[in-house]
Every structure is written in structure tokens, then in C-alpha cells.
Amino acid sequence: MKGINVKSEIKPLKKVLLHRPGRELLNLTPDTLQELLFDDIPFLKVAQEEHDAFARVLRANDVEVVYLEDLMAEVLDLDPAIREKFLKQFIVEGGIRTNKYQRIIYDYLNQIKDNKTLVLKTMEGINVNELTRNIENSLVDLVSEESKMVLAPMPNLYFTRDPFASIGHGISLNRMYSVTRNRETIYAEYIFNYHPDYKGIVEKWYDRYDSFHIEGGDILNLTEDTLAIGISQRTEPDAIDSLAKNIFNNPKSTIKKILAFNIPNSRAFMHLDTVFTQIDVDKFTVHPGILGPLEVYEITAGDDVEEVKVHKIEDTLEHILEDALGIEKVTLIKCGGEDRIAAEREQWNDGSNTLCIAPGVIVVYERNDVTNALLEKHGLKVLTIPSAELSRGRGGPRCMSMPLWRED
């Protein structure tokens, strides 16, 4: 399967992108947790075991699993010039400004001959004490701590949902909210520009060099012609405007309407997919805190390429989704049910962040037992995975996966 084909949240998943957590988690410290967007430091060995269990569940259900690190290594294997370009760009984007350190880090990375090892090292980060340097000739070197990270790790990479989003036959290659995470999008840039499975056959609806931030967790493919996008802590309305114009003005796009949901600007409502996710033709998991009247904006094509039409909708989530899907009745299954304490606890542990791999078949964290029991009661086939360590990054099975191909 070459290219991208994602026009739904629920149709059978055939191919998905993951990233197996690596040594980047070992470079988290209590002092860097906030900067690197974690609440605690996962135990790497167990996090990898949990992630491997996730991949096994997907493969057991006929989903092809590909890994970000493998695709990127395959790109670097194509041509030494691509590898050189990537390393130089990666170093600059990592905030290395002096010619001296750009050269030292380039030489250090370039001596890694195996490209997968190289890719994993770029994800892990680089400690100053790994580098060969003459500290007597530099004030910076003399005063730097021996444990200083000169290139920061990227521990959020196992949340592959956010750096780009599959939309129809194309992608939104995102400009992300934080500097920490925006560096992650370089891998998708190279994969979609150079990998033979994607080069020249994937439309780009948005680019990482655009001005406003948007993240994949805020983008849901409701139908072949309707997108839902969250206006959230991580996604700006300006980005949605720009994405809409690009989509509506491209004849290869099937999207006719975008529903922009204005959701609370807080970590608990980080992305739209932490608020609700589709799990069946007529069923959604939902954060209980979003069930009142909503402020939603319907965006359609304007009269010329520089315009869009925007219509404000104030209605309940049920009615908005019923209208978007063209069905009579939508069932909203509240995370934690009617138990407020369970709802808050399980929402914090991504109880409504489910990955649907076929209509009515979902992957969830096993720890959210109240929500999972409710889902089974509503007739869902619930596939559970362990998450004691994975959930420390505040993201569930949907966050940890980017569909590349779903059946039409």
C-alpha cells in the first residue's frame, strides 16, 4: 500500500505508523519534565513492553505496523546527499548556533554508519560529555555542566498522531505548539519528500513552515467530505483557516466541510481527540465536561480562493454529530460513566482516547476499567493494552498511532 488513504475514523485500519519508545525517555529528568511535556518519567523497559503489546494487538487484527524510525532510516539509505542534508538541518533546528558545535555534532553523528542507529540517536538527544572537544579554548565549555544536553531528546515521539495528520489522500504536516515537539516533524518532512512509498503521491494540505500551529490530535476524519478540527490549546484558528483554503482549492480533495470545535484551553482538553473519538458508526466516547451547548463553526469554500465561508453553530454535541454523519441517532458514551471521580481519573488516563480499528472494534488502555465496562455494555469489542508507563506521557492508543491506510 503506497500513499495515504484515510477518509474515516472507524473504517477497517490496514496500515498504521508507530514509534517504539526509545532511549529518549532516559534523558527525561525532573527538571525537564514541564519543558518536555511529561508529568513523570516512564520506566523505559516496561514502556517498550507495553508498546510492543500495542503493536501485537494491531497485527493480530490484520493491521500492517510500520515504524517512524524504520521509514526514516530507509530514506537516509537512499542517498548520502539526503543524509547530509538531514543532519545539517537537524542540528540547526536543534538550536545549535555556533559553527564550532555544528561541526562537532555533525562529525559525531556522521560517524554513525548504520542509518537506523543514527535516526534513533537523533531522537535520543546528545549529552555534552559524549562529544570530543577542547574545553580549554572555550568559556562555554569550561562552565558547562558535564551532564548538559546539547541536543534535547524528543520523548513525545511515541505519540505519532500529532506531527502530521492523514486526511484523504494527503497530509497536514503540522507546525506544532511547542518548540520541543515542532522538531519532531522533520522526520515526516523527509519521509513524505523522499520515501518511495510516499514521494510525489501524497498531497500536502499544510506545511511545517506555515505560520500557525496545528496538531494531529485535533483533526478527525468524520466522513469522506467532513473534517472535525479542534480550536484548542495546541491548534490556532488561523491554521484551520489556512488548511481549509488549501483543501477546498485542491481538486484532489474530497473535503467539502470543516467543523471547528472551540474546546477549553487547558491540558485536560489538550486536543479534540481527548474530548471525543468515534468508535462505531453511531457511537462516540466523550469527555463528560463537554456535553453542554457547544460553540462550533462550519467552514465551507468561499467565492474565491482567498476566502472561506464561516457559519456559527450553537447546539449539543449529539445534534452536531448526527447532522455531520447524516444519521438519526448518535450515542455518546461518557468516560467514567456517571461516577465523577472515575470520570476525572479515567479522563486523565485517556479513557476517551480510543483507537478504532474497525466499526465497533477499539483499542483502549486496560487501566480505565469503568469506561471499558461501559463500552462493552454498549456492544463494543474492547481490546485492552497495558499502560502503567505509557500513560505517563498523557496520551492514549489514538495518540500513539497515525493511520496511513483505511479501507474505503
Positions marked catalytic: 399
| Cell numbers that stand for 223 in this block | 466522513
Going by C-beta distance under 8 Å and a sequence separation of 6 or more, which residues neighbour residue 186? Answer: 86, 89, 90, 93, 208
Distance CA 405, CA 390 (A): 25
Q: Which three cell numbers stand for residue 380?
A: 463494543
Residue 177: alpha-carbon gap to chain centroid = 12
Q: How many angstroms separate the Cα of 244 from the Cα of each of 41, 66, 255, 298, 364?
A: 38, 29, 9, 11, 31
Query: What are the grid coordinates assigned to 180, written together?
Result: 520541543
Q: Which of 376, 395, 358, 385 is nearest to 11 (CA)?
A: 358
Give the whole-angstrom CA distance, residue 195 versus residue 307: 34
List 286's β-bridge partners, or say none. Answer: 276, 334
- Rounded to a whole number of angstroms, the distance between the first and last alpha carbons of the chain is 13
CB neighbour list of residue 248: distance below 8 Å, 6 or more residues apart: 255, 256, 300, 301, 302, 308
Instruction: Annotate 32-57 with DSSP letters as a single string.
Output: GTTTTT-SS---HHHHHHHHHHHHHH
What is the sign, positive or negative, of the torsion defined by CA atoms of 179, 184, 190, 196?
A: negative
Residue with cell 508529568: 39
Q: 3-class DSSP state for residue 21?
A: coil
Tell me phi and psi for residue 297, to 5 degrees: -120, 125
Grid-cell match 508498546, residue found:
51
Name the DSSP letter for residue 28.
-
* Gap between the Cα atoms of 304 and 66, Å rounded: 40
